[in-house]
Amino acid sequence: MIIQLDKNISEKNKKAITDKMSSLKFKPTEVLTQKGDYLIGTGKADFDIRDLGQMAGIQDIHMVSDDYQLVSRKWKVDYTTIDLGDGVKVGANDFAIMAGPCSIESEEQIVKVIDHLKANNVKIMRGGVYKPRSSPYSFRGLGIDGLKLWHQHAKAAGIKIITEVMQVSQIAEMYDYIDMYQVGARNTQNFNLLDELGKVDKPVLIKRGISGTIEELLYSAEYVFSGGNERLLLCERGIRTYEKASRNTMDLNAIPILKEKTHLPIIADPSHGIGIRHHVEPITLASIMAGADGVIFETHEIPEKAYSDGQQTLNFRESDNMIARIRKTLELRESF
Amino acid sequence: MIIQLDKNISEKNKKAITDKMSSLKFKPTEVLTQKGDYLIGTGKADFDIRDLGQMAGIQDIHMVSDDYQLVSRKWKVDYTTIDLGDGVKVGANDFAIMAGPCSIESEEQIVKVIDHLKANNVKIMRGGVYKPRSSPYSFRGLGIDGLKLWHQHAKAAGIKIITEVMQVSQIAEMYDYIDMYQVGARNTQNFNLLDELGKVDKPVLIKRGISGTIEELLYSAEYVFSGGNERLLLCERGIRTYEKASRNTMDLNAIPILKEKTHLPIIADPSHGIGIRHHVEPITLASIMAGADGVIFETHEIPEKAYSDGQQTLNFRESDNMIARIRKTLELRESF
Amino acid sequence: MIIQLDKNISEKNKKAITDKMSSLKFKPTEVLTQKGDYLIGTGKADFDIRDLGQMAGIQDIHMVSDDYQLVSRKWKVDYTTIDLGDGVKVGANDFAIMAGPCSIESEEQIVKVIDHLKANNVKIMRGGVYKPRSSPYSFRGLGIDGLKLWHQHAKAAGIKIITEVMQVSQIAEMYDYIDMYQVGARNTQNFNLLDELGKVDKPVLIKRGISGTIEELLYSAEYVFSGGNERLLLCERGIRTYEKASRNTMDLNAIPILKEKTHLPIIADPSHGIGIRHHVEPITLASIMAGADGVIFETHEIPEKAYSDGQQTLNFRESDNMIARIRKTLELRESF
Amino acid sequence: MIIQLDKNISEKNKKAITDKMSSLKFKPTEVLTQKGDYLIGTGKADFDIRDLGQMAGIQDIHMVSDDYQLVSRKWKVDYTTIDLGDGVKVGANDFAIMAGPCSIESEEQIVKVIDHLKANNVKIMRGGVYKPRSSPYSFRGLGIDGLKLWHQHAKAAGIKIITEVMQVSQIAEMYDYIDMYQVGARNTQNFNLLDELGKVDKPVLIKRGISGTIEELLYSAEYVFSGGNERLLLCERGIRTYEKASRNTMDLNAIPILKEKTHLPIIADPSHGIGIRHHVEPITLASIMAGADGVIFETHEIPEKAYSDGQQTLNFRESDNMIARIRKTLELRESF
């Protein structure tokens, strides 16, 4: 049960509602986000909705049968749009292209990627400054200094930044230099990180776990939302299966299924989804026809020299071509 | 190693070649298909290709590093087109739409589906007369009598038939009434069935195993080809994973990967790939952008009353709409 | 619903019962096995069991809520024992050791393995004469001649034979030379093969599919049982997962779960289950503590020279040691 | 490459070694643990080991071909034993039984479990005070106050404590009240947490990821070890597969494989591995025969009333019986 509260509800009225919820065997959780105040009722009991509906201070009540609630389309049928400022939006009517290198490597690299994005009218740049690596001896990224350098150039060029946050302490550290946090596939169920991201007023893109279910991804988003941050995006990036011919198995089924279950924007990551450079384009275009609200992919001037993920990174010429085809495919989809 | 032989090679010359192959530590296998005569050499030794190349009776020699050989694009770069007669073709330049019910149920049903296909200019009809069922107590299909009835109507309407063959004895039984055999996901590694299908001069569509790898699918095709039948199609129909939100996990990565590895046409089966009726269309259109040479999907006048698979079957109106979009999507892809 | 019929039930009485079943909305299937006559009722309707129970010709009625019925422990709580003759039995009180090479290779090999088994008082020998191989160019076994040779030596030594049957035509061909048919992991859902094995009066061991569920394995057994053959064994041989450090993932959970669900004996195949020779022993002993009714493993005089599966095959000394430990572990388990 | 350094090596000598390593194209990483000082060389180049071996300050050099190094048995063949103090040890010769509830719930519950453990001479108690939960609305544990209460009773009883740590800030918070940290399956690749646990002088048990590979588990341990903490244990707790009949698929193959690859102790968690209360015992005993160095399982006075995981938790009588059988099974294993 989701109860939308009046903005100026009195504490007394609020208490009356939570008492009533408890008496109906629903556990109340108060959620205050940037956009509204809610009481979430967890429970399964039957009751007459009018017992609650007429109480003072209530704007609206929604019965949600899913166990995740705030991210469900059962109470919010209209799709959410995430506004990054300066006219940059991501959502069902605002398809987003996000591109950039796996790792931020140098000022020269930053400048070249930004030039490439500007030439293609792409407004959001991806890149890692803290890299999760299986081996402790691998390159772990340039860290906060790399981010500051990147931010300086991106801001000047009017480009928004999305980068991965790996731990709680990085949330504040990064805050002034990014436009969107990314939660990586290894941290999708790092619940403390999700809790803390609920307290921040910047958008968060959550990647599906390496072997995460669609339901778990929705629960992870519920963590952030119920912590107070409504501005969320979900990302399909391939799952782990027995198949060895590709890096991951891109689960495009997840896109229409997620679009049915949640009002949040759904982004596709074909670079990780297939992991083979010359097959990134068909999977990208397929993601669009499957219904994605945006794509995030890896590009680099010379993929062969990238510090990481070069085997799945497009060069600028490949990226130019693909972006043009993305837009034509999107146009077709919108004509349906 | 694949050696294409002269059509009229003498037995003496052939023996000289196989002796030479053996001396080079390659095991020779003779393959006679409808289209040509080959000697396949299995082995990994190094040798000077000129030792063989100048022998009498040899048309061409191809060194193939893949373990599957005849189906590999390493010796046959041009994509294969399967000709079903009467102008009906399937291949890279001849996108195929195959549609029909899960099970053939009655004459009335056959007629209605054929009318629907004709109205949409669809030339190939799918349908099961022998059904593989997990439980021995489930409906197992109308059998050969159902097929004969279907064939009578389909022939009159100029519609080609594809249906699943489950055992060796059905190959001959079905022969006069079908245009393409289908090997189902549970029989992809039924090697005796594959061997026997190698002896027939009708095309065979092989579905990927329920948890089959891409490589295993290629090997299964190699069985049929090396048995003598070159007219093969491969079909991605979703694989088994831990995800419970969809019936299978449609592996669209397999499409560009297979298009790179083999010259055979690749068909997508979105009905089984996602298994949810209202999500079949986005996955179908995604399959096209991923590079499929055709799609096979389930349609029925009243899916709710279908004997099997109703939950993933489109009604005729949904099918009409989707076919129109398939053609528009294909047109866009061909413009790239 | 399972109705056990009187041996000498009249056709008239039988018809009265099936008519009654139909009127109660249960679909009747008649099953005649070597051991008894049954009517299986498929359906889910509620009714008063006394409406049926007092009819003439009925020995007993069991309501079974599982969708597989005849193999369920819900109607037959006592575990089944399979009698191979000459005092060789397999079941809950008759732990079976089955051992032998992956492939039957030569008379010399047969004799050596038989000597090894006799020295260890092992009564059942495994070996393949028809081999399912991913590649059509691999060794496919010695065929029926190899089987006849093997049978001649095994019979003289008092050793029972289990071997894989891959197609319907082999059932009759093999009949006189084997004591137990094995259905391999690629044929677990080859329903025609299962149907035909239902008509034979020799035991059948069914391996779990390469990615088969526990439930699918039970359904496959239901096929054979409902075809008329009650003498069945099930075999856990590892499933396909994403883990690459072992050939398969041995699912020992399946053993106690199967022992709860079915009255049939459960055999463990640790050779395929882990696929690494020096780890076969711990997985074998673990299978016993998990509750297996028998094990089947691969042994060869010189595994390095075996035609197939050498990497998971024990030499005779390793096999000697392991068999001694199997018996001690079993003794401990039986003391609990 | 692992170079064990002299305890009192001079900075000058150390620099000479790292310079030499760099010139041989090995990237040096210095590792200082509680037990020794190391230089880890990452690289694959060939060189003459004598070029390094005779340099001042080097105790020993080991060439390790695995990509994880410090946890590999390739340089440390003898198995590691973890000493928890007061005579409580875990290792190849010191089998450990760890038991307790899923969640710490109340003082009464703590006391009852401790009494149960004492009666069975079990020295290590498990229990969660911070619980990772898929849903933000589920019970998340009693937190630090629960831990303090637990510690007070456990210390008085001479029982050691293992509990899950979910974030960096909890490491210090918990430090005084625990004997072993546990990293849960959702945090196996939370690299910042692993880095920080490298700085602590208390043992850490790392659970395999929900769909983690054996290799990834070894890398996670390498993180902690290379951070400075040698006292590590690894835990198999079941992996995610397509099989729905059990909560997870217990991968007992992982036990002998890990015992071959690493010198660290390997613990089995059968409660999560199968997730079904009445099947926990056979999987526990199987784990022992597979070679585990210890088991960790869930027990509660009244599992039906447990706050979490009741369906896989033993009651005290079941636990009594199982512990007796664990010891008998272990005795048999040690006799081999």
A257-267 pLDDT, tens per residue? 999 999 999 99
Residues 6+ apart with CB under 8 A from D245: C213, C214, C215, C253, C254, C257
pLDDT at B238: 98
**In a domain? residue B261:** yes
The verdict on D251 and D142 lying in the same domain is: yes
Asked if D256's CB is within 8 angstroms of C252's CB, the reply is no
pLDDT over 80 (residue C249)? yes
Q: How far apart are CA D121 and CA D115, in angstroms?
A: 10
Write out chain A residues lying below 8 Å of C211, CB-based.
242
Write out chain C residues lying below 8 Å of D241, CB-based.
239, 241, 249, 251
Strands of the sheet containing C37-42, edge to edge, are C27-32, C37-42, C2-5, C58-62
Q: How far apart are CA B93 and CA B78, in angstroms?
A: 11
Lowest mean pLDDT among B70-84, C286-300, D38-52: D38-52
Mutate to test the interface with D, among B242, B246, B248, B251 (most CBs of D within 10 A): B242
pLDDT at B288: 98
**In a domain? residue A72:** no
Q: Average pLDDT for residues C254-279, to the nearest whole number?
A: 97
Q: How far apart are CA A293 and CA A270, in angstroms?
A: 13
Residue type, B262: T
Write out chain B residues lying below 8 Å of D244, CB-based.
244
The verdict on B39 and B150 lying in the same domain is: no
Asked if D42's CB is within 8 angstroms of A134's CB, the reply is no
> What sign for the dihedral angle of Cα B25, B29, B33, B37?
positive
Q: What is the H or E stretch that residue C32 is in? A: strand C27-32
Q: Per residue in B235-267, is it b (16+ CB within 10 Å) or e — as a string?
A: bbbbbbbbbebbbbbbbbbbbbbbbebbbbbbb
* Nearest chain D residue (CA) to B244: D242
Number of domains in chain B: 2
Asked if C242's CB is within 8 angstroms of D213's CB, the reply is yes
* Nearest chain A residue (CA) to B276: A257
Q: How confident is the model at residue A131 (pLDDT cuts 50, 70, 90)?
A: confident
Q: Average pLDDT for residues C297-325, to the nearest whole number?
A: 95
**In a domain? residue A73:** no
Q: How far apart are CA A136 and CA D68, in angstroms?
A: 9
CA distance D243 to chain B (A): 7
**In a domain? residue D175:** yes
**In a domain? residue C76:** no
The verdict on D48 and D159 lying in the same domain is: no
Lowest mean pLDDT among A64-73, A235-244, C239-248: A64-73
CA distance A201 to chain C (A): 38
**In a domain? residue C71:** no
Helix (H, G, I), strand (E, B) or coil at D89: strand
Q: Average pLDDT for residues C215-235, to the nearest whole number?
A: 95
Mean pLDDT of chain A: 94
Residues 6+ apart with CB under 8 A from B157: B114, B117, B118
Q: Which residues of C touch B (CB under 8 A)?
A: 27, 29, 40, 42, 67-68, 132-137, 166-169, 186-187, 189-193, 195, 209-211, 215-216, 219, 222-223, 226-227, 240
pLDDT at B78: 93
* Nearest chain B residue (CA) to D240: B242
Mean pLDDT of chain C: 94
User: Number of C-alpha atoms within 13 angstroms, CB side, residue D137?
Assistant: 23
The verdict on B46 and B97 lying in the same domain is: no
Q: How confident is the model at residue C131 (pLDDT cuts 50, 70, 90)?
A: confident
CB C100 within 8 A of CB C118: no
Asked if D287's CB is within 8 angstroms of C287's CB, the reply is no
Q: How far apart are CA C171 and CA C324, in angstroms?
A: 35
Residue-wise pLDDT tens digits, B255-303: 999 999 999 999 999 999 999 999 999 999 999 999 999 999 999 999 9
Q: What is the pTM of this model?
A: 0.93
CB D98 within 8 A of CB D162: yes
Write out chain D residues lying below 8 Å of B244, CB-based.
244
pLDDT at B282: 98
CB D139 within 8 A of CB D155: no
Strands of the sheet containing A58-62, edge to edge, are A27-32, A37-42, A2-5, A58-62
Identify the segments of chain D with pLDDT beneath 70. none
Q: Measuring CA to CA, how many Å separate B222 from each of B188, B190, B198, B217, C325?
A: 12, 13, 9, 9, 44
Please give the interface size between C and D, counted as residue pairs whose CB atoms are below 8 Å apart.
122
Strands (E), A51-179: 58-62, 82-85, 88-90, 96-100, 124-126, 160-164
* Nearest chain D residue (CA) to A140: D191
Helix (H, G, I), strand (E, B) or coil at A54: coil
The verdict on A89 and A25 lying in the same domain is: no
pLDDT over 90 (residue A223)? yes
Q: Per residue in A67-101, is it b (16+ CB within 10 Å) or e — as a string?
A: bbbbbbbbbbeebbebebeeebbbbeebbbbbbbb
Minimal Cβ distance to A286: which of B244, B274, B290: B290
Q: Average pLDDT for residues B141-161, to the nearest whole number?
A: 97
Share of residues in chain C with pLDDT > 90 (%): 81
CB A205 within 8 A of CB A183: yes
CB D159 within 8 A of CB A62: no
Q: How confident is the model at residue B144 (pLDDT cuts 50, 70, 90)?
A: very high
Degrees, nearest 5: CA angle D16-D21-D26: 155
Instruction: Give partners of B (≥3 CB pairs < 8 A).
Output: A, C, D
Q: Per residue in A183-214, is it b (16+ CB within 10 Å) or e — as a string?
A: bbbbbbbbbbbbbbbbebeebbbbbbbbbbbb
Q: Measuring CA to CA, how many Å separate C154 from each of C7, C129, C300, C314?
A: 37, 14, 16, 20
Asked if B216's CB is within 8 angstroms of C68's CB, the reply is no
> Phi and psi dihedrals of A70, rounded to 5?
-65, -25
**Residue A123, token pair as written in the block:** 């407004």
Q: How far apart are CA C313 and CA A130, in angstroms?
A: 46
**CATH code of C115's domain:** 3.20.20.70
Q: How confident is the model at residue A45 (pLDDT cuts 50, 70, 90)?
A: confident
Residue-wise pLDDT tens digits, C134-179: 888 888 899 999 999 999 999 999 999 999 999 999 999 999 999 9
* Nearest chain C residue (CA) to A249: C242
pLDDT at D288: 98
Closest CA to B251 of B290, B279, B195, B293: B290
pLDDT at B75: 87
CA distance B266 to chain A (A): 14
Q: What is the H or E stretch that residue D164 is in? A: strand D160-164
CA distance A250 to chain C (A): 15
Residue-wise pLDDT tens digits, B4-50: 999 889 999 999 999 999 988 888 889 988 888 999 988 877 888 88
Lowest mean pLDDT among A11-20, A319-328, B115-124, D148-157: A11-20
Helix (H, G, I), strand (E, B) or coil at B169: helix
CA dihedral D69, D72, D73, D76 (to 10 degrees): 50
**In a domain? residue B67:** no
Write out chain D residues lying below 8 Å of C250, CB-based.
251-253
Query: Tokens 């006679």 — which residue?
Result: B32
The verdict on B133 and B47 lying in the same domain is: no
The verdict on A89 and A119 lying in the same domain is: yes
Largest Cα separation within chain C, whole Å, is 65
**Residue B192, token pair as written in the block:** 């005796």
pLDDT over 90 (residue B66)? no
Residue-wise pLDDT tens digits, B211-251: 999 999 999 999 999 999 999 999 999 999 999 999 999 99
Minimal Cβ distance to B211: which of C135, C211, C219: C211
Largest Cα separation within chain D, whole Å, is 65
CA distance A294 to chain D (A): 26
Strands (E), chain A: 2-5, 27-32, 37-42, 58-62, 82-85, 88-90, 96-100, 124-126, 160-164, 180-183, 204-207, 232-236, 266-268, 294-298
The verdict on A50 and A87 lying in the same domain is: no
Strands (E), chain B: 2-5, 27-32, 37-42, 58-62, 82-85, 88-90, 96-100, 124-126, 160-164, 180-183, 204-207, 232-236, 266-268, 294-298
Please give the interface size between B and D, counted as residue pairs whose CB atoms are below 8 Å apart.
8
Query: CB burial class (10 A; 0-12, 13-18, 19+) of residue D133?
Result: middle
Asked if C242's CB is within 8 angstroms of A240's CB, the reply is yes
User: Number of C-alpha atoms within 13 angstroms, CB side, residue A152?
Assistant: 10
Q: C236 lies in which domain range?
A: 82-335
Q: Average pLDDT for residues C259-286, to the nearest whole number?
A: 98
Q: Measuring CA to CA, how many Å separate B32 from each of B1, B6, B18, B80, B198?
A: 16, 12, 15, 18, 10
Q: Measuring CA to CA, how many Å separate B29 from each of A35, B19, B264, C135?
A: 72, 12, 21, 13
The verdict on D88 and D43 lying in the same domain is: no
CA distance B312 to chain A (A): 13
> Phi and psi dihedrals of A181, rounded to 5?
-85, 145
pLDDT at A272: 97
CA distance C231 to chain D (A): 25
CA distance B217 to chain C (A): 9
Q: Average pLDDT for residues C309-320, to the nearest whole number?
A: 95
The verdict on D267 and D178 lying in the same domain is: yes
Q: How far apart are CA C198 and CA C329, in angstroms?
A: 35
The verdict on A55 and A171 lying in the same domain is: no
Q: Measuring CA to CA, how many Å separate B107 from each of B111, B145, B154, D45?
A: 6, 11, 11, 72
Residue type, C139: F
Instruction: Give partners of C (≥3 CB pairs < 8 A).
Output: A, B, D
Minimal Cβ distance to A216: which of D134, D187, D219: D134
Asked if A283's CB is within 8 angstroms of B256's CB, the reply is yes
**Residue A176, token pair as written in the block:** 């002034």
Share of residues in chain A with pLDDT > 90 (%): 81
The verdict on B210 and B174 lying in the same domain is: yes
Tell me the β-bridge partners of A5: A58
**In a domain? residue C46:** yes
**CATH code of D49's domain:** 3.30.70.1140
CA distance D120 to chain C (A): 18
Asked if B245's CB is within 8 angstroms of A283's CB, the reply is no
Asked if B257's CB is within 8 angstroms of A279's CB, the reply is yes
Q: How confident is the model at residue B91 (pLDDT cuts 50, 70, 90)?
A: very high
